[in-house]
């Protein structure tokens, strides 16, 4: 998200029950980390009901499209108040929207405590169906029942949130109504019935439809993008998007996976997804203490079941947190190795804007009041991770846009600087694959453009093979400068017959993208843009699918160990032909 000046002292006043002082003390945690709650997988195994009709239809098609950048966490997995008020809100340039998100933070934190835990969700998934693939109901019936349950729970949660807001948080309806009044006076007709005052029905609609509206005659959802709205209408739609994001934070992860599949199939039918790469999260110590979030091993176990029960549509990436290794005797890297070797994980996710450069922490200072661990220890732990990933043949995916840090100083840590430092002064590596998530961001810069920096890194000779993904390039569908920036980058030659078009992958960054009005149209819009590019040749096929398979070692060419490992994992867990996108 774009940067904006913001006084952090005001944030503590706006957070209500979630004080900034408490959040900033996360690195000083003294409570021992909790133990994992999920001991084993499902026995017997339920049938893969999460691979619904839309996924099966995509697998029967000729094309293979993949989303290289998704998330399916909920409020049990992250410190909600700190995540919304710090990582999300500090970069929002729209002052009223920023205030609205900050006001929502403590409410979402409070209700989030009642969202489904990883253990309860794992038990619920294991309890579905007769097991061992002997289905009593059709896939269509299973999917219809799941969709009905998702809508029922969405409405129930919306009513719960509305009651809490009315009882304790009057700033939220006040901010919304101010924005709605302004939108009504300046309306260009895009929102139609969306500029109603804050009410229970409005929260229910926002949970269901985000920034879109429904046609009265057919009840069909019509998503809206910012390019079709006035600025005041965009504020209202974005507030509705923030409410929908809270809905996803309050939902079971498999509900979010189903919603992702269904909405993209309905609104972006030209890009039928065969699979997605889903990154876990671990913000322990950076945003709050470990007892405030799901144990990462339980996230691994749950994502393992989401992968199995979606027939391989979901391919998980385990999070790595260097501060956990510093505080807990290398617990994070030990889990990374186990997750890749035993639990179907195909890569590792890093989140530098929490407080570290990808490498070179001992050389660079960070102007921040937030707590950070010893920079020498950070480099030592990160170097060990890269050596392990190089050995296992799995990529490291890292946030690589100037956004979502704990403050503006932390936003800058995700730049190409740390990766150049790793290439120049890091441990000896054979050929580590790195995915720069967000590929520097869509907004063009006249000086020090991060996308240009990652393109230059791609062209460097050495021990890194660098990719990038288009996650949260939310300006791309409507912005000519963003479109030009991407087209120019894709055409850059890298030597040895390659261009940047061989290293960029489609990605959405869903569920983070769900904050944006019209997120359901993102895949279609990006696909249409790519299919309209004539050179380099076959750029759409590469960016929308083939490059992801190459990045994650799943294409069957080169080192096929990751593909063999994934096929073996699915065959051992009841998917006899391996992941569905491979066998159909």
The answer to whether residue 568 is domain-embedded is no
The answer to whether residue 203 is domain-embedded is yes
- Residues 332-343 have pLDDT tens digits of 999 999 999 999
Does 134 score more than 60 pLDDT?
Answer: no
- 178 and 258 in a single domain? The answer is no
The answer to whether residue 243 is domain-embedded is yes
- Residues 216-242 have pLDDT tens digits of 899 999 998 888 888 899 999 999 999
- 279 and 199 in a single domain? The answer is no
Does 87 score more than 50 pLDDT?
Answer: yes
- pLDDT class for 7, splitting at 50, 70, 90? very low
- The H-assigned helical ranges of 499-545 are 522-531, 539-541
The answer to whether residue 580 is domain-embedded is no
- pLDDT class for 482, splitting at 50, 70, 90? very high
- β-partners of residue 327 are none
Mean per-residue pLDDT, 135-140: 74
Neighbour tally for 353: CB within 10 Å: 26
- 116 and 260 in a single domain? The answer is no
- 304 and 230 in a single domain? The answer is no
Between 535 and 70, where is the model more confident? Answer: 70
Q: How many domains does the chain have?
A: 2
For the ranges 76-80, 374-378, 380-384, 502-506, the lowest mean pLDDT is seen at 76-80
- 270 and 242 in a single domain? The answer is no
- 201 and 272 in a single domain? The answer is no
Mean pLDDT of the chain: 91
Neighbour tally for 451: CB within 10 Å: 27
Mean per-residue pLDDT, 199-205: 96
The answer to whether residue 398 is domain-embedded is yes
Of the three residues 249, 278, 313, the one that is the final residue of a domain is: 249
The answer to whether residue 19 is domain-embedded is no
Task: Identify the pLDDT of residue 446.
Answer: 85
Q: What's CA 164's distance to the chain center, in Å?
A: 27
- Residues 72 and 332 sit within 8 Å (Cβ to Cβ): no
Task: Identify the pLDDT of residue 518.
Answer: 94
Does 132 score more than 70 pLDDT?
Answer: no
**Domain housing 416:** 63-74+254-553
- Residues 359-397 have pLDDT tens digits of 999 999 999 999 999 999 999 999 999 999 999 999 999
- 115 and 223 in a single domain? The answer is yes
pTM of this prediction? 0.93
Task: Identify the pLDDT of residue 130.
Answer: 55
- 428 and 524 in a single domain? The answer is yes
Q: Is 227 exposed, middle or buried (0-12, 13-18, 19+ CB in 10 A)?
A: middle
Task: Identify the pLDDT of residue 461.
Answer: 87
- Residues 528-572 have pLDDT tens digits of 999 999 888 899 999 999 999 999 999 976 558 899 999 999 999
The answer to whether residue 581 is domain-embedded is no
- 365 and 239 in a single domain? The answer is no
- 510 and 533 in a single domain? The answer is yes
- 184 and 268 in a single domain? The answer is no
- Residues 64 and 271 sit within 8 Å (Cβ to Cβ): no
Of the three residues 249, 278, 304, the one that is the final residue of a domain is: 249
- For the domain that residue 301 is a member of, what is the CATH number? 3.20.20.140
Which phi and psi angles does 493 have, rounded to 5°? -80, 145
- 305 and 206 in a single domain? The answer is no
- Residues 255-283 have pLDDT tens digits of 999 999 999 999 999 999 999 999 999 99
The answer to whether residue 89 is domain-embedded is yes
């Amino acid at each position: 998200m774009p940067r904006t000046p913001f006084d952090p002292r005001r944030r503590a006043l706006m957070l209500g029950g979630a004080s900034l002082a408490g959040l900033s003390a996360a690195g000083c945690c003294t409570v021992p980390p909790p133990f994992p709650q999920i001991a084993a997988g499902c026995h017997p195994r339920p049938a893969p009901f999460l691979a619904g009709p839309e996924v099966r239809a995509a697998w029967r098609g000729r094309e293979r499209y993949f989303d290289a950048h998704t998330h399916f966490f909920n409020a049990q997995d992250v410190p909600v108040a700190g995540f919304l008020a710090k990582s999300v809100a500090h970069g929002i340039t729209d002052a009223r929207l920023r205030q609205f998100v900050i006001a929502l933070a403590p409410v979402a934190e409070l209700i989030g405590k009642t969202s489904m835990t990883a253990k309860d969700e794992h038990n619920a998934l294991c309890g579905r169906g007769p097991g061992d693939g002997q289905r009593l109901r059709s896939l269509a019936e299973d999917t219809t029942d799941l969709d009905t349950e998702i809508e029922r729970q969405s409405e129930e949660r919306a009513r719960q949130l509305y009651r809490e807001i009315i009882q304790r948080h009057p700033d939220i309806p006040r901010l919304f109504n101010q924005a709605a009044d302004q939108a009504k006076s300046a309306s260009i007709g895009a929102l139609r019935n969306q500029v109603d005052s804050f009410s229970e029905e409005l929260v229910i609609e926002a949970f269901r439809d985000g920034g879109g509206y429904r046609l009265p005659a057919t009840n069909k959802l019509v998503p809206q993008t910012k390019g079709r709205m006035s600025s005041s209408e965009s504020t209202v739609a974005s507030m509705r998007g923030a409410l929908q994001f809270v809905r996803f934070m309050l939902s079971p992860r498999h509900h979010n996976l189903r919603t992702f599949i269904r909405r993209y199939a309905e609104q972006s039918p030209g890009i039928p997804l065969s699979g997605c790469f889903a990154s876990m999260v671990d913000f322990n110590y950076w945003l709050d203490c470990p007892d405030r979030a799901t144990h990462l091993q339980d996230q691994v176990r749950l994502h393992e079941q989401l992968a199995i029960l979606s027939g391989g549509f979901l391919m998980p990436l385990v999070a790595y947190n260097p501060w956990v290794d510093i505080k807990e005797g290398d617990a994070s890297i030990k889990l990374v190795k186990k997750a890749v070797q035993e639990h179907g994980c195909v890569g590792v996710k890093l989140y530098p804007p929490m407080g570290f450069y990808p490498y070179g922490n001992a050389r660079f200072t960070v102007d921040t009041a937030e707590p950070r661990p010893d920079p020498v220890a950070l480099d030592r732990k990160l170097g060990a991770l890269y050596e392990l990933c190089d050995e296992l043949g799995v990529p490291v995916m890292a946030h690589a846009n100037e956004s979502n840090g704990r403050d503006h100083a932390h936003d800058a840590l995700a730049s190409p600087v740390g990766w150049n430092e790793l290439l120049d002064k890091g441990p000896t590596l054979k050929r580590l694959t790195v995915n720069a998530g967000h590929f520097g961001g869509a907004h063009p810069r006249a000086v020090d453009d991060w996308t240009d920096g990652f393109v230059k890194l791609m062209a460097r000779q050495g021990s890194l093979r660098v990719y990038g993904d288009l996650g949260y390039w939310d300006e791309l569908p409507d912005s000519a400068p963003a479109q030009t920036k991407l087209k120019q980058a894709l055409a850059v030659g890298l030597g040895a017959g390659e261009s940047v078009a061989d290293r960029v992958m489609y990605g959405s960054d869903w569920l983070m993208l769900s904050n944006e009005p019209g997120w359901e149209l993102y895949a279609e819009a990006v696909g249409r843009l790519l299919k309209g590019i004539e050179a380099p040749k076959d750029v759409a096929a590469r960016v929308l699918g083939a490059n992801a398979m190459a990045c994650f070692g799943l294409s069957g060419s080169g080192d096929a160990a990751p593909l063999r490992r994934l096929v073996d994992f699915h065959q051992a867990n009841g998917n006899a032909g391996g992941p569905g996108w491979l066998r159909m």
